[in-house]
Structure 1
Amino acid sequence: MALDRYHERRDFAATPEPRDEGQPSDVGLRYSIQNHDATRLHWDLRLEWQGVLLSWAITRGPSLNPSDKRLAVRTEDHPLSYLRFEGQIPSGQYGAGTVMLWDLGWWQPLEPAARGLSKGHLRFRIHGRRLTGDWNLVRMKGRKTGDSKRENWLLIKSDDEAAHRADPVETYRTSIATGRDFAAISAEKAPRLRDRTGTRPRPVPVQLATLTEDLADSGSHWHELKLDGYRMQAALGKGGTRIWTRNGHDWTDRFADLVPAFDDLDCKSALIDGEIVAGAGLQGFSALQDAIAAGGPFGFVAFDLIQLDGKDLSKRPLTERRRALEQLFSPLPPMGALDLSPVIDGDPQEALDLICGSGGEGVIAKRRDAPYRGGRSRDWLKIKCRHRGEFVIVGWQASSSRARPFASLAVAARRGRDLVYMGKVGTGFDEDAMADLAARMAPLKRAKPPVQAPKAEARGVTWIDPRLVAEVNYAETTGQGRLRHAVFLGLREDKPARQVQVEEPVATDREDIAGIALSSGDRVIFPDAKVTKADLARYYRDIAPLMLPEVQDRPLSLVRLPDGLTGQRFFQKHPGKGFPDALKTVPIAESDGETHPYAYGSDAAGLVAAVQMGTVEFHIWGARRDRLDRPDRLVFDLDPDEGLSFATTRRAALDLRDRLADLGLECWAMLSGGKGVHLVVPLRRSVGWDTAKLFARGVATLAATAQPDRFTAEMSKARRKDRIFIDWLRNERGSTSVAPFSVRARPGAPVACPVTWDELSRLRRPAPFSLQEACTRGWADVAPPPPQGLTQKVIVALDRALKSV
């Protein structure tokens, strides 16, 4: 027998260790570690498998460093009842000493466990309160020793998210169950339970998401994974942790196995919003139903913090509540019983496709700046991969098989106040589910149907009072309002039947601008100028005829501000997956030999599509995609040091214009939208980048050498003191400069605007043009010169000028 050696070694009249075999888990595989202060201090690893606890004695305890290989001596199998044992084994008994329950949870084989045990390499994942993540047990080579056939193994942590954290052996020195240390356990002192000092909050109405078919704007919203469990609020404070359903029912007893995990959160009181799911690697609503019946395993995925230490956080924006939640959860090991709902980085469409492809539920989009509001609103949106919802069971269809209590369920939902028949659900039941449903439905039988149903569909149905709520997965709703390919997932007891409404997706708030569906158009990008995302999109649509002659077919770099002017910004050179189709791409080989995609625009739709993804500024190459090796413009960016007046910069631009004219080149001027002025020389595409860059550097050097107190050609901040930096580095392959008529990501929403030389001599401010003013301008006023060549004559003229100074 598997437990013979365990029983042979113990005198159960003298030791408090359990004798009975215990009951196996019907859902997951349980795990524990007991810290054993015997002849030698060690940690006993217990893994439930085939009705017993496989056991290893870890001499130095588990390590989270993947480079550490801890000796784990295989010992006799223990009964399942030993999993939670804690106490004092008397002197003279086998294993005499103090046993502390050090960790508790569930484990998950990452490959067939029988094969791993046989070949001597068991790969598994731990879902405990103190240890989490992936681990390896590796059997050492060599013959077995002694009469016990002892095997030496190595316990090694995998290099994952749970690795490289604080040493658990040093961190945790008390019981996971009672809070006692070795001395208190040996003295049989009462358990030291955590008692919080703050008043435990009452649950509040939960915030609900509105069903929609489109992803939200990633600038105003973030996206999280749609979870597949029970929505719950965890209330922490005096008297212990309580778990409440979204309708205010206390379900703490149903999730008693999860409650101790909240003791690890360091706070006086809290109200946490989240979802309880099946734990230990189990997935899906059906798995959660099985876990509830078995008493676990459970996991709690938190996504909002409503109250903390007596402070109401509900009126603060989601971003602040999330920061507070992350700080509260930061000491916990990842992948444990308590975890945070991950915020999806990157393109939400790509994430949704991946989630749907792997059989997930969908995503929840949450407005970043919104407070926590009870009830359903558009601050939270849900986008589902497949249709799924709650429906009221109104009857059952008799089965032709005596072994089955029914063939299908008749279901309905409310549309307003009316209960509407939605068809039948005929799959998704196992024997236990059918027996449970039949027992629940039998006392609810009634003579008349509670809902109007066509005679053909009502034939053979036994009707019941509409009290039971089923969670159903289905392909679609037919034109007659029936569910197609409906699958029963389980009963929902957290929502009364009277609240079950037909859920239909709402139309998203999108405005069509230049053929692009713009979402979240009312989001404010520039608070001081009161410019919204829609205002910005309309501007680029209207300015396109002026902007495109200089922008069209040039590789672009984009300055994106997903959260508006006050949020994070980033400079994007390479399009990623999910880039809008209206922004086309061209592959370009870079200096490292790698080829990468670049975006380019060809029409107003491309500009607006960039705004839809959070773009404010457009920066352009000095060449077009058909001849990337031949620049068609030179740019001299006059960048004044802090404290220099615009009048100084204006005079410098006029003087540099004259120097270029002396060399035989004409240019036009553009206010950059910041402090500086750009001088642009249109070029014939007759020379390469090296020549253009060398010429631009020569012009800047000429000005700096002639007037060193006024100009510098070096980027160094130290050399720029009280001078104007003539930035000639814009004129090399891959460098960019801000596009004409581009809005700048600066207070006031200034525009980089071309100006005439007469205008420039009269202007008193460096960024005077608003969006509205820029749209009234035209290229005819600026009259840019035609393309010119960097001819031998021009280059010789520059060489002579340099030698003269």
Structure 2
Amino acid sequence: MRSLDAYEKKRDFEATPEPRAELVEAGGDRLSFVVQKHDASSMHYDFRLEWGGVLLSWAVTKGPSADPSQKRLAVRTEDHPVAYGTFEGTIPEDEYGGGTVMLWDSGWWEPLHDPEEGLKDGKLHLRLHGARMKGGWALVRMEDERDEKNENWLLIKERDDFARDGAEVLTESHKTSVTTGRTMREITEGKAPALPSHNKPRPRFRKVQLATLKDAPPEGKDWQHEAKFDGYRCVIALGKGGVRLYSRNGKDWSDRFGALCEPAAALDCDSALIDGEVIAGRGGGDFSTLQKALKSGDALTFHAFDCMVLDGEDLTGKPLSARRKALQELFGGLPPRGPLRLSPIIEGEGADALAAMCDAGGEGIVSKRRDAPYRGGRSKAWIKSKCIRRAEFVIAGWSPSTKRGRPFASLLLGSYESGALVFRGRVGTGFDEDDFKELEPALASLAQRSAPFDGALPTEGQDANWVTPKLVVEAEYTEFTREGRIRHGVYKGLREDKEAREVSAKAEAETEGDDERAIGGVRVSSVGRVVYPEAGLTKGEVAGHYAKVGKRMLTHAADRPLSLLRCPDGISGECFFQKHAGKGFPDTVKTMPIEEKDGEREDYMYVSTPEGLIGAAQMGTLEFHIWGAARDRIERPDRMVFDLDPDEELDFKRVKAAAQQVREGLTACGLQSVPMVTGGKGVHVIAPLRRISGWDTVKYFARTFAETLADRDPDALTATMSKSKRKGRVFIDWLRNERGATAIAPYSLRARPGAAVAVPVSWDELDDLERPDGFHPQDMKDRLSRRCPLLAPEARGIGKGVLEALEDWSKG
């Protein structure tokens, strides 16, 4: 992230309409660019590129030229906030930069090399996708002209299909705003934007298509995957008569979404009916933030993901691929960071898309069949998969509170199933002062004497105050119990876009609440679900394995950053790695901040107790992969691992022979080691270390050692990852010893058909083993009765003596 200090110091935000200094998350699928014609002390054009959470800015004195023979002076100015990319208006004369600002061009840009290197070296090459500036361009710093006050660059058009003869053709051809159609004078005079004329009748609202909830996303090329947003569904209708913004049930919410009306009216078409989601906050939005934004008038963003009607043509019968193309053409010229945006498609298979979304802290994804038409109502052509357990419920009552200032302790919730109101538990956390102020009078106005539930009164309702079930809320929860009630509910806000009678939690309850029991003191749901079909192992038995081996496993895995391999539907379904805890993880799976290569800090998962292992198993974890360092000294590794990965044609004898070669080499260098059969097809040779050296030293030793060993026996070994180099050889994977790399934890299950377990063994025992995947959960009782082989060797540090021994050994 860059700094906006210079931008902020130059402006009085009480006087200027310019946006305040606010950094945004860098990156995204498209980086915005904008050109603003600026009539300040002298007329010029401000050329801005989004990078590092800001807009890099240059003042182009004569404006950009599409003639490659013209080299236009571009003076580097202070970085601007990304929100400046939508600013058009007049800055007061007495303020910095006083004068009229026009949005002359906007779009997105592609860096053709590393922008950081380009800025440093003074050569920035890029491709622009704007309404007016297109194709290749270059910014070149004038080194001889650089001084303390000004950093002078040249903006030059490259020769391509978008180049034009004539120095001023580009600026003379376009004298109005790219978004409002106004001239500089009209902007100065405050004239209303010249919006496109919508010549066809405004389409009527149509019933929106809804997604079906599944545990995992579908796979294959027939599906595209998009982010699941955390906001309000919204349908934009525009045509003759103006713009209307509707809720998912067809209520006219144009007043509530008022900030989006003008941007929607500026869409260049005769008529349209567009489906999407309104959010507030960063990323995929936050429902609580949206609730506050609607009350305070803060900024809203509309993400479009479907188009039902365009220019009078009904597109609902066409495949999604055709509707998406129409939507892309309509939204193509809009700024990527503007109030109207195109919902991005997440590339890759469904499991990878969901894993990426969960790892980023998102809510989930929606998978859509590319060849399917648009059909109102619930459909299996759209599948939603969640990272976060969240659903809508109806308020049926409230429990009194003994705390001063708190009008209730918890809300009692229900949902309508086959016309009957079913009790779904309670929610007692997540409320702030504004929520209490909103809910207290609303509940009072709906008070009634009798419980509204059909059937027996829940025990939680003995002292409850009942209300007419009309208010709909959204709540997060950790799981559904066997009785169909939520556990650990967290209030997220009222939903005003849904009728109470429409609220059902049947899909969520059936997905997650089939059976549960306590294992190792942890409630585990869906214990009967088979996750290893070939071995017949259930989710409950997986949790039971980690309860059994927990103390032994934590001797080697406790308090280390983890990567978890999660398989929510078992190994026959989709699996994904996760290293950052998402919402819904139990408290026993803890987090710790770690600085990454780019200098940013991210929260990594770790566990300290058997309950943490079981809690991760409750979340569908099968495999635990660990760092080579503990969290109290994260920069000092305490183990070195060589993963011996054989070519598929080799038998286990070759792997065992390679392990013995690694052992002999390490012994020659003064290090003791222990083998571990991985439960896969290979062996790990593990050397415990004293924590006296950093990652670079350990990595240097591991690489030098592996390459030396491979050079000595090139027909049998390789230290190169390339598959072509592995043919007929065992790959000595030394890369497990890099900072951030992980290796399978001792006593972890493997997500493979036989449900094998990674088990440390003695060297003598390794000689007698016939395969590396011969240990299973049923063998653990016997293993736990013995001392763990990993506790036998003495930990030694990679200090001067060991490095000298490595050098001597490598020369021998």
Structure 1 length normalisation: TM-score?
0.48
Structure whose alpha-carbon radius of gyration is higher: 1
TM-score, reference length from structure 2:
0.48
